Amino acid sequence: MMKWAFIDYENIGSLAKINLSAYEKVIVFMGANQPRLNFSDKKYDGPIDLAIVQIKDMQPNNLDFHLAYYLGKLDSEADKDVVFEVITNDFGFTPLIAHVKKSGRLCRQVKIGEWEESVQKLVSSITTRPVEERPQRVNSLRNYIASHLALKGNEEAIRSHINHLVTAEIITISDSTLEYLC
């Protein structure tokens, strides 16, 4: 089975936990403020077909739009037996992946293990605090997440964590004010 990887690097921040040699083609989508790739100490025995799409402009969801474009473009070009894996912790890709599957291509989202750990850490950190000590506004919550999860500058990951808090019914957002449901 041939697999191609579409990596949301802005969201995952490192290639350390991804076995790139498991893929015939790897496309890494990097945000405007990400000057280099982090492979950690990982070594590979053979060459890797790696393409980098560096986003030039900082706009909300800009990287996501680029990834979606390439996913659709390559879906129309690649043999149908090629499996697409979108490597991201961003839940926003779920409907797109479902749509690609309907076209007859095996396509799935691969989440990186640190995601679950960071979500648990965030939920525990927020819910164990008295309500009056929790962030009360979205900007405060962004800063809280960036600080507690070492995500400063990674707006995509911060947004994904906020979206998870809403989806898990831990918070609701009205304008820029937060309400805690637990």
Worst-scoring range by mean pLDDT, 15-24, 47-56, 156-165, 172-181?
156-165
Provide long-range contacts, Cβ within 8 A and 24+ apart, for 155-159: 155/10, 156/8, 156/10, 156/11, 156/31, 156/63, 156/64, 156/90, 157/10, 157/11, 157/12, 157/13, 157/89, 159/90
pLDDT at 11: 83
Predicted confidence (pLDDT) at residue 114 exceeds the cutoff of 70: no
pLDDT of amino acid 127:
86
Please, which pLDDT band fits residue 99 given cuts at 50, 70 and 90? very high
Look-up of token digits 């750990």 = 117
Which CATH class for the 114-180 domain? mainly alpha
Which pLDDT does position 51 carry in this prediction?
Answer: 96
| Confidence band of 113 (pLDDT split at 50, 70, 90) | low
